[in-house]
Structures are given as C-alpha cells and as structure tokens.
Amino acid sequence: MELKDAVALVTGGGEGIGRAIAEALMEQGCRVTITGRREALVSKTAEDLGLDWILGDVGNEADAIRTVKSVIDQHGRLDILVNNAGYGMFKPLVETTLEEFKGVYATNVLGAFLMAREAARQFIKQGSGELINISSTSSLKGSAGRTAYGSSKFALRGMTECWRDELRRHNVRVMLVNPSEVMTNFAAKAGVEREVSDKKLRSREIADAIVGALKVDSRGFIPEFSVFATNPF
C-alpha cells in the first residue's frame, strides 16, 4: 500500500515497540495517532514525535469505541490499526490468581478484539484497511510460567485467523507479527530481569518489518511473520 497520508492508529504507543512503530509510520508520511492508559507517558511520546494521542484503555469498550471514532472523525477514515497494547505476567500455574489471569486477557485478548471490531466496521465501509496484531513467539509454543501470557497470545493468533478469513473479501489485510525477545522494559514490568544485550532485538527491527509488510502491494499480503535475533547468545 501507499503509506504517505495513510491514517494509522497504534495502541500502546507510548513506549517500546508501539512507539517505534508509530515513529516508523510517521517517517513514511502516515498521519499517526497513539493511544495508551498512562497519560504522562503517552502525551510525552506524542510531544516528542509530533503526533496525536488519545488517552484510553483498549480493554474498556467505551474507550475503544471513542478512540476509533475520534480518529475517524478527525481524518474521515482509518487505514491502519496496529493492535500493540499488551502486557506480560509470568508465574507458575499454581501461583497465578484469577484476577491476574483476567487482567492479562482484558488487554491482550479483549482489548485487541474491541479495537479490531471498531476498526473493522470502518474498513468494511471504506472497502480497505490494514489490521496488524502484535503477538509474540510465545504464540508458537507454550512454556512453563506463561499460562496467562502465552495462552493470551495463542488466543490472539486464533482471532487473527478468523478475522483474516472474514475480512479479506473486503480488501482488508490482517497480519500477525510474532516478535522474539525485544530489549524494552516489557520484561521488567512483568517482574522478570533481563540483561541488556547488543545481540537482542530492538523495537526498531519490529517496526521496520511491519513497514516492509505494509508496503507490499495491496493485491497480496504477508499473513504472519516472526522476527528473531540472528545470534542472541
């Protein structure tokens, strides 16, 4: 697709992968809006990059509806939704509470569903659209301590396949992106310490891969791809 002047909405755009995606899309000439739950963080990123921002929680239905509507009201359309908002919680099964489990799903699954639903309504109306779901290599293989997070990404992968089949007849491309470990504060917020390594991925690698996928002519698309560090050891 032609990215210049395309209208893009990036959830969880205040930091990490979301911020890198927003910046990369802006560099391509997109009109970008980011959203997130932490006002200070989202507004600072918007100021730094010179883009629009909306405060909201993707897992809250009213916020999701308001966010997508605001972008459409401002620009008259929506071309790209990047479902990036998400967080991790890594604990053994027997130590995971129901509240913690529901919290992960509220953002990683229900939030992605709500944002995709609202964006898809506009995509169908205009006969085009790009829906990018940021998943994880945890969606490819389960592992110990990832009952909540890993299963939420399996769920996102399943929803992506359903949306892809449903929306492609409306010229909507639905893509799933599976980053491997990226050097952001994602792990720290989940309570896992990670040593900084020059060999590990940075957010920009994920952003560049997404830009490349979006630039594929709209007659075709890349349904799913994973991004791994070449030699992380």
pLDDT over 70 at 50, yes or no = yes
Q: What is the pLDDT of residues 53-76, one digit of tens each?
A: 999 999 999 999 999 999 999 999
CB burial class (10 A; 0-12, 13-18, 19+) of residue 187?
middle
pLDDT over 90 at 191, yes or no = no
φ and ψ at residue 31, rounded to 5 degrees: -95, 105
In whole angstroms, what is the distance from residue 109 CA to residue 179 CA? 17
pLDDT band at residue 197 under the 50/70/90 scheme: confident
Longest dimension (CA), the chain: 50
What is the percent of the chain with per-residue pLDDT over 70, rounded to a whole number? 96
Domains along the sequence of the chain with CATH: 7-227 (3.40.50.720)
What are 196-201's contacts with CB under 8 Å, separation 24+? 197/232, 199/229, 199/230, 199/231, 199/232, 199/233, 200/229, 200/232, 201/227, 201/228, 201/229
pLDDT band at residue 171 under the 50/70/90 scheme: very high
Q: In one letter, which amino acid is 160?
A: T
**Residues with catalytic roles:** 149
Give residue 25's pLDDT.
98
SS3 231: coil
In whole angstroms, what is the distance from residue 126 CA to residue 123 CA? 5
Least confident of 41-50, 171-180, 188-197: 188-197
